[in-house]
Structure formats: C-alpha cells, structure tokens
Amino acid sequence: MKRRFINPFKVKGDWFKGNVHTHSVNSDGTKTPEELIGIYRGAGYDFLSITDHSIVLDITGLDGKGLLLVPGGEMCIGRSEAGQFYHLVALGVEDLPFKDFDYSLDPQEVIDHTNAVGGIPIIAHPYWSGLNHGDLMKLRDYHGVEIYNTSCDYERNTGLSASHIDGMIAAGLEPYIYAVDDHHGAGRSQVPIDACGAWISIKAESLTVKSILDAIKKGHFYSSTGPEIMDITIDEDGVISVECSPVKYISFVSTPSLGMKFHAEDEPLTKAVYPGRPGETYVRVEVTDYEGRTAWSNPIYNF
C-alpha cells in the first residue's frame, strides 16, 4: 500500500506552538492586543495571530515580548444553504479589501485574494457556522479547515468539525487540519475562558513570520488540545507507526466504515501500529488522553 504524507516529523527545524485565530477589542473580543500577548506568552505559546473581524490589525507597533505576532484577519461573507455566513480566516495578509458581513460576497473571492497575496485561507468552525457538505464542496483552493475551535466548544458545544472534514476528504478534497481558540473572552459564568485551549505545533526553521507561514503552507504541523504526537512513520508497505504522549486512545480515522481505534488497557498507550485496510483512500491520526483532549495529524493519503 502506497501512502502520501507531508511529514513534519521528518523535516529539519524546531517545534513552535501557536494559535492562529483570536479576537481583540478591535472587533468582538474583550481583551486588548497587549492583554492577549500576556495571556498567550504566559501559557508558553511561541506565536499568535490576532484575526479581528473587518480589519487586519497593524501589529508593527506591538511588542510581543518574545511572542511572535503573525498578521491575519477574519471575514464573514456569503450565504450557506442554511442562510448563514461562511467565516474565513486569512493568515499572512496585510489587508482584506472587502465588506465584512456581506451576504452577497462570494467566499471564493476572499479565498482567491488571500492566495494571490501570499496568504493562507482557512475555513473557520464549519459546525458552529451551520455549513453542510454541499456548502464546503462549493469552495476551492483554501488551505485548511478548523477541526476544533475552543470558543465554539465552550460556548455552544459545536467546536468539533471532524465529520465535516472527513466528508470533504472522502469526496476528494485535501484540506489541512487546524485546532484553534477563536478567543473572544466573553466571561460568561460557568464557562472556562476560551484561551490557550488549542494550538498548532509547527516544525519550522526559525521563529519568524516568514518561516512560520512557510511551514504552515507546506503542512509541517499537527494540531492539539493537549496530547503530543512525537512521531509518525510510514514504511514501504504503508504500515503507519505512531508515537505519542500517554493517551487513552489512538485512532486511525479513515474512509467511511474503515480505519481502526486502539484502546488503553492496563496502562496508557504511547504507540500504535496500523497496517491499513483495503479500500481506504486516506488515514488521519487522532490521539486522545484521559481528560478527553485530542491531537490530530494532517491526513495521510493513499495512491
């Protein structure tokens, strides 16, 4: 079985932890950019993108105090089959010259613009947005989709969009997978703060905006809300081996009705080996710890 995988564990560089979807008081967040810098730097993050609505925040005058700031923004545009906006995050852009919250604007225009200026377009929280399979299949050339969104999870229990992504992949698309916070800081009682709950771990040559964006574009990352994936290897027969921090489950999610899940028994799992099953077109790795926190690899494709 031949497999195709952009493997971040096999490239040179160092690992950096970051959140690429966050809001400040400059749109609908409750924290200033300076406060966000303090929160994420204090939690051990290496980089942060403040992706406010309607604007790309000018970060040139902000002191990250060791936290790298990556420019970005978010647009709410178009109309899904359920009559809802598409939410698109654009990383690495200087501006988004569109009217936000515009039902008449085709989301593809924002995706095409983002790509044209060297940015990275990401479809945000499809479950929370009420997007269905048809909505997602209409768009092309975006880099990835949010599989997990902390704010949507904490506020509405609609933060996990794994089934949306698997449907897209099964239909032939190849999105990268992102876990993000989408921090707003609503401060509602009986709800944890929606910060520092999710991230992408990137293998990059250095902690610079160019290096981080280049590594994201190449797919040199995985996503997590807690566990660490230490290594993924694929031998010449297509056997996938995974090493990770101690977890309760290691899952190989695949084409509908295929794949396989390994359960810890007397002690936590730190590795699993999966030979694959006939008929699979892709496999992606999920590892889940005893607190329900998960890490997700980007998809591995068969050919």
Q: How crowded is residue 238: how many other Cβ atoms within 10 Å of its Cβ? A: 16
Block residue for tokens 């810890």: 264
pLDDT in tens, 8-53: 999 999 999 999 999 999 999 999 999 999 999 999 999 999 999 9
**pLDDT of amino acid 280:** 96
pLDDT greater than 90 at residue 187: no
Based on the domain organization, do 134 and 177 belong to the same domain?
A: yes
**pLDDT of amino acid 303:** 87
Based on the domain organization, do 217 and 241 belong to the same domain?
A: no
Based on the domain organization, do 127 and 161 belong to the same domain?
A: yes
Per-residue burial over 105-130, b if 16 or more Cβ lie within 10 Å, else e, is bebbebbebbeeeebbbbbbbbbbbe
The CATH number that applies at residue 214 is 3.20.20.140
Based on the domain organization, do 187 and 235 belong to the same domain?
A: no
Distance CA 99, CA 103 (A): 10
Based on the domain organization, do 192 and 93 belong to the same domain?
A: yes
Q: Calculate mean pLDDT across residues 200-215.
A: 98
Based on the domain organization, do 85 and 144 belong to the same domain?
A: yes
Based on the domain organization, do 106 and 170 belong to the same domain?
A: yes
pLDDT greater than 90 at residue 223: yes
Based on the domain organization, do 244 and 95 belong to the same domain?
A: no
Residue 46, C-beta contacts closer than 8 angstroms, at least 6 positions apart: 16, 17, 18, 67, 68, 207
Q: Which of 166, 181, 175, 47 is nearest to 111 (CA)?
A: 175
Domain that holds residue 186: 3-224
The CATH number that applies at residue 235 is 2.60.40
Name the DSSP letter for residue 22. B
pLDDT range class, residue 1, cuts 50, 70, 90 = confident
Distance CA 55, CA 48 (A): 16
pLDDT in tens, 44-99: 999 999 999 999 999 999 999 999 999 999 999 999 999 999 999 999 999 999 99
Q: How do strand 144-149 and strand 120-123 relate by DSSP bridges?
A: parallel
pLDDT greater than 90 at residue 192: yes
Based on the domain organization, do 236 and 206 belong to the same domain?
A: no
Q: What is the mean pLDDT of the chain?
A: 97
Based on the domain organization, do 282 and 167 belong to the same domain?
A: no
Task: Give SS3 for 89.
Answer: strand
Which residue has better confidence, 186 or 265? Answer: 265
Task: Give SS3 for 114.
Answer: helix
pLDDT greater than 90 at residue 241: yes
Number of domains into which the chain is organized:
2
pLDDT range class, residue 212, cuts 50, 70, 90 = very high
* 97 exposure class (CB count in 10 Å sphere: 0-12, 13-18, 19+): exposed
End residue of a domain, out of 189, 208, 224 = 224
What percentage of residues in the chain have a pLDDT greater than 70?
A: 100
Based on the domain organization, do 168 and 274 belong to the same domain?
A: no
End residue of a domain, out of 224, 245, 280 = 224
End residue of a domain, out of 224, 259, 279 = 224
Strands (E), 20-119: 47-48, 68-69, 72-77, 86-91
Based on the domain organization, do 150 and 281 belong to the same domain?
A: no
